[in-house]
Amino acid sequence: MAAGAQFGPRQIEAADLLGGRVEPHYIRVLRRLLGAHALAEKLTAEGYRRAAATVADPEIRRIAEKNLAEEKRHAALIYGLLAELGVSEEAADRGSIVLRRAPSFEAARCFAEQAEGELGLLMGNISLDMTGLIMIGVNYRDSSYAPHAFAAEAILEDEAGHDEFGSGALRAAVERMGAEAVGAALREWLPRAVNFFGPPGSGFTFDCLRYGLKQKDNDELAGLFLSVLERRLNQVGLEMPRLNNTYPHTIV
């Protein structure tokens, strides 16, 4: 439980919200958080669809199609939670229009709209699966909103597989395409990946922490991601590109 949080893990059910037993602002914050989560899953699914259609290797295509099916299921799960709160998928996406254009969604947007081939698939995996695994595993698994915590549990099982695929795909990409090509793609994608965690110290995240809807602030999770990724890159002989310290991050 985040220090100072008003609610512990899995303390609140949908019936508590619908029955008016929780303050209305909790519901507003939860809806916005679920809307962002649902959109991230949906754009990740679209990216896997693009990548699966443009990858030549049949085994990699098979995995991309499996991941696509799982990401679609994740999106449906989170949109389902919103539906329970009276928010349709269309209404949720309308509420996320500004977010979709924000630096924090550039990775998801680029994966959905541009990523192609094996390198695009790998960059989407690093930017969305690796980061998502941390967000869901650290923040949402212990959400005060029980239905989100249970959904996070279910998603995590799949994401562990996506992460395993990603670490193998990174090694294979370096062997097939060379460290230089993978390094160049990383310099393009790493800022997007880190920015996916969102700005540190925002009022919205403060509310999420206060309500136990998140456990850690965005910059803590981003730091965790960078340390895991650096280890992974070094194992295959790649250097970690250097980023500036302020959000939105860029390469220095």
Binding site for Fe ion (CB under 5 A): 41, 71, 74, 129, 159, 162
User: Residue 44 or 247: which CB sits closer to Fe ion?
Assistant: 44
Q: Give the position of tokens 């349709």.
A: 88
Token readout for 197 is: 């965690």
Tell me how far apart the alpha carbons of residues 173 and 169 are, in angstroms, rounded to a whole number. Answer: 6
Pair 102, 39: CB distance under 8 Å: no
Helix, strand, or coil here: 251? strand
Give φ, ψ of 237 to 5 degrees: 80, 20
Q: What's the closest the beta carbon of residue 249 comes to Fe ion, in angstroms?
A: 22
Opening angle at CA 126, ends 121 and 127, nearest 5? 95
User: Residue 162 or 216: which CB sits closer to Fe ion?
Assistant: 162
Q: What's the closest the beta carbon of residue 100 comes to Fe ion, in angstroms?
A: 17
Q: What's the closest the beta carbon of residue 21 comes to Fe ion, in angstroms?
A: 31
Tell me how far apart the alpha carbons of residues 52 and 47 are, in angstroms, rounded to a whole number. Answer: 8
User: Residue 148 or 162: which CB sits closer to Fe ion?
Assistant: 162
In single-letter form, the type of residue at position 250 comes to: T
User: Residue 162 or 232: which CB sits closer to Fe ion?
Assistant: 162
Q: What's the closest the beta carbon of residue 210 comes to Fe ion, in angstroms?
A: 26
Q: What's the closest the beta carbon of residue 15 comes to Fe ion, in angstroms?
A: 27
Closest C-alpha among 225, 249, 221 to residue 140: 221
User: Residue 135 or 190: which CB sits closer to Fe ion?
Assistant: 135
In single-letter form, the type of residue at position 83 comes to: A
